[in-house]
Chains A and B, each alone.
Chain A
Amino acid sequence: GAVVSQHPSWVICKSGTSVKIECRSLDFQATTMFWYRQFPKQSLMLMATSNEGSKATYEQGVEKDKFLINHASLTLSTLTVTSAHPEDSSFYICSATRAGTEAFFGQGTRLTVV
């Protein structure tokens, strides 16, 4: 099956700093990728839809200036959490779809802001 790889798997950063998370589709081209956030014991909440070559579409309530998404190529989307605060600590997961198949998820990134 298709492979989506996320990096890093976990990261600890200081409050006020920025963190970049990468999502790569390793064996297929993804014109669209999705970013989700999952707090402990909660569901996956869609943050934004990442479109290759254009601006991301953010869900209501998600701050676009805080969560910067760049989809510069058909195989890479990045999420940058800017000026991170402890409340941004969460499990961030990306997904990508290949035409005609199901969504493939990255392994997730556990962000801890101290």
Chain B
Amino acid sequence: GENVEQHPSTLSVQEGDSAVIKCTYSDSASNYFPWYKQELGKRPQLIIDIRSNVGEKKDQRIAVTLNKTAKHFSLHITETQPEDSAVYFCAASKGNTDKLIFGTGTRLQVFP
């Protein structure tokens, strides 16, 4: 089955700096890759997603890149703010209505 690895597990940056989180997946049939932000005790919130027919997608300060050949995708957050501090999860599935397999999570801390 699908296996998703995520790095780093923790990431500390200064406010205004950029943050990059990387994930790799194992199943070449996966074609949908969402990223979630989760605050303590809350449900995951979708922040951006990408499908396998696209190499990059951007939404304001957030971007995701996908390398299908290497089977890895990355989340880029620019101009980080303290409110970006949370746990971020990547995930992979074989379609956005299929089950999601989550990465191990990255705890991002943005210091003022």
Contact = CB atoms under 8 A, between A and B. Distances in A.
Interface in A93-114: 93, 95, 97, 99-103, 105-108, 110
Contact of A102 (B46, B99, B103): B46
Nearest first, the 4 A-B pairs at minimum CB distance are A105-B43, A97-B97, A44-B102, A43-B102
A46 B42 contact: no
Q: Which secondary structure dominates chain A's binding surface? A: strand
B93 to A, nearest CB: 8
Interface string A39-53: 000111110010000
Contacts of A110: 41
A44 B89 contact: yes
A34 interface: yes
Interface residues of A, number: 24
Interface string A11-24: 00000000000000
A44 B49 CA distance: 17
B101 to A, nearest CB: 7
Given A42-B105, A102-B34, A107 B96 contact: no
20 contacts: A32-B97, A34-B99, A43-B89, A43-B103, A44-B44, A44-B89, A44-B100, A46-B99, A46-B100, A46-B101, A97-B97, A101-B96, A102-B34, A102-B96, A103-B34, A103-B46, A105-B43, A107-B42, A107-B43, A110-B41
Contacts, number: 48
Contacts of B102: 36, 43-46
A52 to B, nearest CB: 13
Contacts of A100: 96
Contacts of B97: 32, 97, 99
Interface of A: 32, 34, 36, 42-46, 49, 60, 91, 93, 95, 97, 99-103, 105-108, 110
